[in-house]
Each structure stands twice: as C-alpha cells, then as structure tokens.
Amino acid sequence: MTPGIIWITGCASGVGRHLAGAFLGRGWRVIATDINWQRLRTVAAEDGWDEQRLLLKRLDVVDNDAWEAAFRDVIAEWGGLDVMANVAGYLRPGWLLETPREEARRHMDVNYGGVVNGSLIAARHMSAEGRGHIINIASLAGVAAIPGLGCYSASKFAVRAWTLALAHELKPRGVAVTVLCPDAIETPMLDQQVNADEAALTFSGGRALVVGDLEKVLFDRVLTRRPLEVVMPAGRGFQARLGGAFPAAAAALLNLLRRRGARHQSRRRKRP
C-alpha cells in the first residue's frame, strides 16, 4: 500500500508506540496521540521518530471536544487522513462483584467510547472523500467472555459489535472498517496482569503475541485486503469463537484454561 496519513491513538506505550514507529519507518505520515503528553514526547525522542512526518497531540479519547480540536489541527496541517487506528485502551482485572461502578464505566468510556469518538471523527471525513480505512483494536476477550476481566471483556464486545455494524454502514460510502481481535500481547498492559489471580485466563494460551505480530498482520493483510475482522492467532481465535458461540458448553473448558493460565502466570511471576 502506498504510504499515506494515519492517526494512531495510545502511542505513549505498547501497541500504539510500536505501530507509530513502524508506520513512520515505512514512509507514512503519522498523527500520534495519547493522554500522557509528557510520556508521548519522551517516547518520540527515545525512538527517534521523524519529526518531518509526525504530528504529536495530547488526546483524551473520552473527550469528544478534544477529538474535534485535534481533528481541526490535522486538517489544517495535512488536509485529512487515510487511516484511523483506534488503539488506546484500558484494563484492570477484577471480579465483577468486587468491581466499583466507576471502574466499569472507565472501561466502557475508554475502550468503547474512545473507539466511537475516533470512528465517527474519521467516518465523517472519509465518507465525504469516498475513501479511507478505520481500524479498531478489540480483543479475543471481545469474542468470548472472560471471567476475571469482565469489564474489559464487555467493553471489547462493544467495540467489536460497533465496528462490525459500522463496517456495513460505511461500505456503500467507500470506507473500509476492520476490527482486529488479538490474544494477549507482550506490553505493559500484560505486565500489570501478572500479579492478579483474576487474570489467569489471560495467560492460558501459548506464547503471547508481540507487537511485531500486529505490525505484520496490519501491513501484510489488513491494509492491503481490508478484511472485516481478523482474530489472532488463528488457533486461539477459533477457540474463542467456539466459546462465544456455545458459552454454556465452554464452562468446563474455562476451568481447564484457568488452571493452565495460573501455571503460566506463576512462572512469569518468578522471572528475574
């Protein structure tokens, strides 16, 4: 795909940070945003991001007014965008009966509300242009419900449903929409789950994905073929689809996976 202009949220760490550097390295112009402005600037300097093809913006994805202001700046600077990647996310493990309501709202506000805000900003511009691509990061936790990560899982179900519906609405307007549903990824978000017993299912797979896996899928498949949905890795994705389709039958499997995840989690805790 010919390099264009991409807006990526959540660029101060993890997936967003890696993707910003990856797109810049391939000649794209990148709008990199994050709520943590100081950290975002530090990351840009540490990673040597090309300032000639970079716009750094502080953005709270929950704040629609902030989105509007940032979008006006993007239009003034570069005239528009070709791809919107809604990456920013929030996760805090916890059993639902022990979760404060403000935590439940926070998950929905950031993970779902942020995607809604970013998608609508991009869709408005792209629909007028008759082209463009919106990429929303959900999770395998948005395909099958994950006890212990109930708030996160619910928010990612919402992201997935929103994205699939939006894709059908925008297709006649020439705009592609993709939802990417990855398994656990080696990022700070994964690290914060290591000491949470509730998050054992997060570690129930084999090797966790790395940010480079998402980069490869994006450039080799998503940007070129513009699929509606991608689950990764394929094996765990198939497992999640079965669990989502037959939740009652999956209960026994969940117990098995939880025990397996707890063992993997324990080994990670013991790493030097």
Q: Which residues are catalytic?
A: 152
Segment holding 133, helix H or strand E? strand 133-137
Dist. CA 8–CA 35, nearest whole Å? 12
Give the amino acid at 41: R
**Torsion over CA: 188, 191, 192, 193 (sign):** positive
Distance in angstroms (rounded) separating the CA atoms of residues 248 and 219: 37
246: alpha, beta or left? (left if phi > 0; alpha if psi -120 to 50): beta
Contacts of 69 (CB under 8 A, 6+ apart): none
The tokens for 145 are: 């419900």
- Distance separating alpha carbons of residues 43 and 88, to the nearest angstrom: 15
Nearest to 147 by CA among 208, 204, 70, 185: 204
Closest CA to 150 of 231, 91, 80, 83: 91
CA distance 127 to 109: 25
